[in-house]
Amino acid sequence: MTSDEQQIREVIATWMEASRRGETDRVLELMDEDVVFLGAGRSAMRGRAEFAAASRGMSGMSIDGAADVQEIRVSGDLAYCWNQLTVVVRAADGSIVRNMAGPVLSVMRKGQDGKWRIFRDANMLAPADGKSG
């Protein structure tokens, strides 16, 4: 495994842990300012500010999940990463609000500071429990 591949795996692991802890500011550090998130049935989410607003709109909820890295390919200062992702969102009372799973394809970009960040992300999560979420 190359150093770049290891760094990308660390970005993913840090993202998952920071999400679990509710550390939105830490998650924001892991994405480019001009990041774009794509998901089925919703408009593109553009930029850190839009992501932050959506995250803070989930106040009182907890997020837990796991990313199983399937493939990483690096070419210069761009890379793509395919993950199988599971995400469980719980309300403050512990009840499950969403239980989602599916593939995610992310494009990473290496900044001038040498750090990899999420640049584009296509999220194809679907209800894992047969219920809409």
Q: What is the pLDDT of residue 59?
A: 81
Q: Please give the chain's pLDDT, 133 residues, in tens.
A: 899 999 999 999 999 999 999 999 999 999 999 999 999 889 999 999 999 998 888 888 999 999 999 999 999 999 999 999 999 999 989 899 899 999 999 999 999 999 999 999 999 999 986 655 4
CA dihedral 42, 74, 84, 44 (to 10 degrees): 0
Interatomic CA distance for residues 60 and 80, integer angstroms: 32
Q: What is the pLDDT of residue 36?
A: 98
pTM of the entire predicted model: 0.90
User: How far is the CA of 97 from the CAs of 16, 51, 62, 119, 124, in angstroms?
Assistant: 18, 19, 10, 28, 18
